[in-house]
Amino acid sequence: MTIDEWHDKNKQSLSLDNLKLDEPDNYKLVITNTNGKLNASITCQCGSLIKLFRNRTYFQLSNFYNHLKSDKCTMIKSKQQQTSSDDRHNNQNNNNNQNDTNDNQQQ
């Protein structure tokens, strides 16, 4: 599963409905080749370095996914707060628009 697929599957449970995880803004994938041996890691925007383990021909992203779900990932917390703030702002605008409509109908 790609990071985008994982995000689409988990965005509601993480309260990230309107936000996306983008490289290099939110994480950076680094793959190195040392004497024919491939290694991979992801550096999260919060500063955590997550090593990825190889499963035959693919690197497993489960360590990164677990990090994103953990309380330690300040990047996700920040995005959740941003989403919450955006939702409150949108609700206020909707309420104001509804009040304006009601005022106009009463006149």
Instruction: Count how many domains the chain has.
Output: 1
CA distance 70 to 35: 34
> How far is C-alpha 42 from the chain's CA centre?
14
Residue 28 neighbours by CB distance under 10 Å: 13
CA distance 107 to 90: 26
With contact defined as beta carbons under 8 Å apart, do 42 and 50 qualify? Answer: yes
What letter represents residue 6's amino acid?
Answer: W
User: What's the chain's length in residues?
Assistant: 107
Question: Residue 49 belongs to what domain range?
Answer: 3-106
For residue 15, the model assigns a pLDDT of: 75
For residue 7, the model assigns a pLDDT of: 82
Alpha carbon distances (Å) from 83 to 17, 46, 59, 62, 77: 8, 17, 30, 24, 10
**pLDDT tens digits for the chain (107 residues)?**
788 888 888 888 877 777 788 888 899 999 999 999 999 999 999 999 999 999 888 899 999 999 998 999 999 888 888 877 766 666 666 666 666 666 666 66
